[in-house]
């Protein structure tokens, strides 16, 4: 919170909401053997596969906003759990393609249903998933996510 602001800053509120959501999703998908980060990966992969895509780890990292190294770590854990398969891309031997296994598809469908209920609960104060306030909120979040954000470098007067 800043000294000049009588209440919490937008950054603080975004951070709090993100943490609230992460914890809620972690708890909701834990019975399915997933974490929030793993859910983000398999749910995104599910959507991409439904669209006919077999994405690389890099493509999935770009789509989710997660670091490529973290996606690789998550993919290995999900592969060990039998939920995804990792194969070399025939067009680029350095790239690894990802796909949900049958078990992964089943678990992902269950997880998506659980998270959708949670999302409806979160958005109820705005009128629900299809409410005008929710649509406006989604537009605002999209605007913020689309804006480039480079970390500022503090002035180092010693150099």
Q: What is the pLDDT of residues 62-74, one digit of tens each?
A: 999 999 999 999 9
Q: What is the mean pLDDT of residues 67-91?
A: 94
Q: What is the CA radius of gyration of the chain?
A: 19
Side-chain-facing half-sphere of 21: CA atoms under 13 Å = 16
Q: How far apart are CA 13 and CA 156, in angstroms?
A: 30
Closest CA to 98 of 53, 63, 68, 66: 53
pLDDT in tens, 92-149: 888 899 999 999 999 999 999 999 999 999 999 999 999 999 999 999 999 998 998 8
Do residues 129 and 117 touch, judged by C-beta distance below 8 A? no
Q: In the predicted model, is pLDDT for residue 2 greater than 60? A: no
């Amino acid at each position: 919170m800043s000294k000049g602001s009588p209440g919490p800053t937008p950054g603080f509120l975004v951070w709090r909401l993100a943490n609230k959501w992460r914890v809620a999703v972690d708890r909701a998908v834990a019975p399915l053997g997933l974490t929030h980060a793993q859910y983000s990966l398999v749910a995104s992969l599910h959507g991409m596969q439904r669209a006919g895509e077999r994405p690389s780890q890099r493509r999935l990292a770009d789509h989710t906003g997660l670091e490529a190294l973290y996606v690789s770590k998550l993919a290995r854990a999900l592969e060990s759990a039998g939920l995804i398969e990792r194969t070399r891309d025939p067009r680029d031997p350095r790239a690894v393609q990802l796909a949900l296994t049958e078990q992964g598809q089943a678990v992902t469908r269950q997880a998506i249903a659980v998270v959708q209920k949670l999302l409806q609960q979160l958005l109820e104060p705005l009128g629900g998933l299809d409410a005008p306030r929710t649509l406006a909120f989604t537009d605002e979040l999209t605007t913020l996510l689309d804006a480039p954000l480079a970390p500022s470098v503090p002035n180092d007067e010693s150099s």
